Structure 1
Amino acid sequence: MTDIAVDQPDGPINKQQIRTERSTHRLLKAAAEILVEEGVNALTLANVGERAGYSRGLVTTRFGSKDNMIRTLVERMTSSWAATHVEPRVRGKGGLDGLLEMLREMRDQIARKPQDVLALQALLFDALNPASAARPPILDYNASLGRLVLSSIEAGQADGSIRSDLDGTREASRVLEGIRGIGFHWLLTPDGYDAAAALSHLIALVEEHLAVG
């Protein structure tokens, strides 16, 4: 779902690289906080710099524009989450077990970093605007997640853990629709909606519907 990670520099440790990466992390974290608290329209280079304790000049130097900052934020959230949390958790698990474990990781990420997950939800729905800077990386992320769900279903049908009479593409779409629906409800009422419980319910429904026997 999301995890704003600190990139580790390749090769020998360079103190300037470390400082640069740490400041980038703080800036992106500040951007996520503003997204959740005030919305996309309140996200400016000046606001992000002030929240993170840096000058607007540093933010401009680092990202160049608000659009580039948003793209960087989406890419960090999605690629880091997949590499750091999803891949190790599903490694060695196939079919239905792998799909359910991925969904459990989504649920658990809400408990770990609810604000970051909400920030991603805000960008997901901002991407409905064709002019949104978040749209290209969000579309890539959504398509990648859909492919991952479909490949898990197809693997489950091949190994016998998922019913073979189901249309894999249709079932993958339904799983993705459930995830997005939960995200939308949570974004609308963040203080009155238990997104983790909703995902647990979705996981149970997916297992019941897809499992053989």
Structure 2
Amino acid sequence: MPSPARGLTQPERVETSRRRLMEAAAELIVEKGWEATTAAEIGRRAGYSRTMVHARFGGKEAILEDFLQEYVSRLNPELVPYPTGMDQVLAHIDRIRDLYAHDRDVLRAMFVSTFEAMKTTSPLRDRVQGQLTGGIANVADGLRKGQRDNSIRPDIDLDRAVTDITAAFFGLAFQWVALPPGFDLDAELVHARERIVRDYGA
């Protein structure tokens, strides 16, 4: 087990160990899925004992809950004012592109855990569905705002547009996770972004 980092305060040591455990969980989720991963494996990968993992989190489910709160929520842009409704819609793609550029392994783990949580037996199914539903609602809100500020065409079918745009996000994410190496997620996201502007922009 790693010794506490010298010069760090207790809160800083707690955050360091939490971060190591989150990173270890992300690696294992990608390698073998969440259900097949144990708390002991997460601890070993992070360099900590199983006892420490349980003392810090209380169990594997709590680790995943923290992981989802910390990372999966990052897929949804913050509810801040955007210059236009179109900017609000595109913020979803821009957020994924930013995570792909800076935290690619964590992004893959986020998608894997999200897909795995859709099983009817998953205790986190409702939580993940709530996060995804919130993201879809944010897209719909951006489209309506865009029609008011003239960044979105006034004649589009809003329901169809929301389905089309969100399907593009999830479809590209699934292909990136499922297909062999070589699928260029960033390039595909750029194409999707350009198409959304072309099809729905005023």
Same fold (TM over 0.5): yes
| Secondary structure of residue in 2 paired with 1:198 | helix
Instruction: Select the residue among 62, 67, 73 that pairs with 1:73.
Output: 67
CA RMSD of aligned residues (A): 2.0
Is contact 2:33-2:113 (8 Å) kept? no
The alignment-based identity, stated in percent, is: 31
Matched, 1:53 2:43: no
Aligned residue in 1 for 2:33: 39
Residues 1:81 and 1:171: Cα distance change in structure 2 (over 3 Å): closer
Matched, 1:157 2:147: yes
Instruction: Select the residue among 160, 167, 182 that pairs with 1:177.
Output: 167
Instruction: Measure, in 2, the Cα distance between the counterparts of 1:71 and 1:57.
Output: 19
Alpha-carbon shift at residue 80 of structure 1 (Å):
4.7
Instruction: Measure, in 1, the Cα distance between the counterparts of 2:151 and 2:93.
Output: 16
The CA deviation string for residues 74-115 of structure 1, in whole angstroms up to 9 with x for no partner, is 111133565xxx449x75422113322442232232111110
Residues 1:183 and 1:92: Cα distance change in structure 2 (over 3 Å): closer
What TM-score do you get using the length of structure 2 for normalisation? 0.88
Q: How does 1:106-125 map to 2 (within 5 A)?
A: 106-125=96-115
**1:57 is matched by which residue type in structure 2?**
T
| Secondary structure of residue in 2 paired with 1:166 | coil
Aligned length: 195
Alpha-carbon shift at residue 180 of structure 1 (Å):
0.5
What TM-score do you get using the length of structure 1 for normalisation? 0.84
Which structure is higher in RCO with an 8 Å CA cutoff and minimum separation 6?
Answer: 1
Instruction: Measure, in 2, the Cα distance between the counterparts of 1:190 and 1:150.
Output: 33
Alpha-carbon shift at residue 152 of structure 1 (Å):
0.8
Aligned residue in 2 for 1:137: 127
- The unaligned stretches of length 5 or more in structure 2 are 1-7
| Secondary structure of residue in 2 paired with 1:41 | coil
Is contact 2:75-2:95 (8 Å) kept? no
Alpha-carbon shift at residue 135 of structure 1 (Å):
1.6
Is contact 1:146-1:176 (8 Å) kept? yes
Instruction: Measure, in 2, the Cα distance between the counterparts of 1:99 and 1:199.
Output: 13
Instruction: Measure, in 2, the Cα distance between the counterparts of 1:174 and 1:81.
Output: 18
Instruction: Measure, in 1, the Cα distance between the counterparts of 2:177 and 2:73.
Output: 22
Alpha-carbon shift at residue 121 of structure 1 (Å):
0.8
Matched, 1:202 2:192: yes
Instruction: Measure, in 2, the Cα distance between the counterparts of 1:127 and 1:78.
Output: 12
Which deviates more from structure 2 when the two are superposed, residues 72-81 or residues 18-27? 72-81
Alpha-carbon shift at residue 154 of structure 1 (Å):
0.6
Alpha-carbon shift at residue 187 of structure 1 (Å):
0.9
| Secondary structure of residue in 2 paired with 1:40 | coil
- The unaligned stretches of length 5 or more in structure 1 are 1-13
Matched, 1:19 2:13: yes
